[in-house]
Chain A
Amino acid sequence: MTTTRDAPALTATDLVVEFPAGRGQKVHAVSGVSLEVAAGETLGILGESGCGKSTVGRSLIQLPPPDAGTVRLGDVTLTGLAPRELRRARARMQIIMQDPVSALNPRRRVKDLVWEGRSIWGPGDDTRDKDARVDAALRDVGLDPATVRDRRPHELSGGQCQRVCIARALMLDPEVLICDEPVSSLDVSVQAQILNLLETTTRRRALSMVFIAHDVSVVKNISDRVMVMYLGKVCEVLPSDGMQHEAVHPYTRLLLASLPEAQLGSAAPAGPPAAEERAAELPSPLNPPSGCRFRTRCPLATERCAAEEPAPREIRPGHRIACHHAEPRRNHP
Chain B
Amino acid sequence: MTPKREAATTAPAPTDGTRGTAAPPLLDATDVRTAFHTPRGAVRAVDGVSLTLSEGETLGIVGESGSGKSVLGRTLMGLITDGPGTTVSGTVRIGGKDVHALTPAGRRALWGTEVAMVFQDPMTSLNPVKKTGTHLSESLRLHLGLGRADARDRAVDLLRQVGIPEPARRAGQYPHELSGGMRQRVVIAMALACGPRLLIADEPTTALDVTVQKQILDLLRSLAEELRMATILISHDLATVAGRTDRVAVMYAGRLVEYADTAAVFDRPRHPYSSALIASIPRLDLPPHTLLPAIEGRPPNLLHPPAGCRFAPRCDTATDRCTTESPGLTAYAGERDAGGLVACHHPLGAAEEAAV
Residues of chain A touching chain B, judged by Cβ–Cβ distance below 8 Å, are 48-49, 157, 159, 187-193, 195-196, 199-200, 203, 214-218, 220-224, 240-241, 244, 254-267, 277, 279-282
- With beta carbons under 8 angstroms apart, the residue of A220, A254, A259, A279 that contacts B288 is A220
Distance A253 CA – B345 CA, assembled complex (angstroms): 44
Contacts of B282 in A (CB 8 A): 192, 195, 215, 217-218, 220-221, 263
B236-A192 in contact (CB<8A): no
- B266 on the interface (CB 8 Å rule)? yes
Q: Chain A interface: which of B131-139, B190-198, B289-297?
A: B289-297
- With beta carbons under 8 angstroms apart, the residue of B213, B237, B285 that contacts A258 is B213
The 10 closest A-B pairs by CB, nearest first: A267-B285, A265-B283, A192-B294, A265-B285, A262-B242, A262-B239, A192-B280, A192-B292, A261-B243, A260-B239
A263-B236 in contact (CB<8A): no
- With beta carbons under 8 angstroms apart, the residue of A159, A190, A258 that contacts B211 is A258
Distance A49 CA – B278 CA, assembled complex (angstroms): 26
- B176 on the interface (CB 8 Å rule)? no
Count residues of B near A (Cβ-Cβ below 8 Å).
Answer: 42
- With beta carbons under 8 angstroms apart, the residue of A191, A240, A244 that contacts B280 is A191
A199-B291 in contact (CB<8A): yes
A241-B283 in contact (CB<8A): no
- B179 on the interface (CB 8 Å rule)? yes
* Closest Cβ–Cβ distance, residue B179 to chain A (whole Å): 6
Q: A261-B243, A265-B284 are in contact. Are A49 and B209 (CB under 8 A)?
A: yes
Q: A217-B282, A266-B285 are in contact. Are A277 and B209 (CB under 8 A)?
A: no
- B210 on the interface (CB 8 Å rule)? yes
B210-A189 in contact (CB<8A): no
Distance A189 CA – B238 CA, assembled complex (angstroms): 11
Residues of chain B touching chain A, judged by Cβ–Cβ distance below 8 Å, are 64-65, 163, 165, 179, 182, 209-211, 213-215, 236-240, 242-244, 266, 276-278, 280-296, 298
Distance A271 CA – B296 CA, assembled complex (angstroms): 36
B283-A190 in contact (CB<8A): no
Given A188-B64, A263-B282, A266-B285, 13 other A-B contacts at CB below 8 A?
A48-B209, A190-B294, A191-B280, A199-B289, A220-B288, A221-B290, A224-B288, A240-B288, A241-B287, A259-B210, A264-B283, A265-B286, A279-B163
B283-A267 in contact (CB<8A): yes
Which of A196, A221, A224, A281 gathers most chain B CB within 10 Å?
A221
Distance A188 CA – B240 CA, assembled complex (angstroms): 13
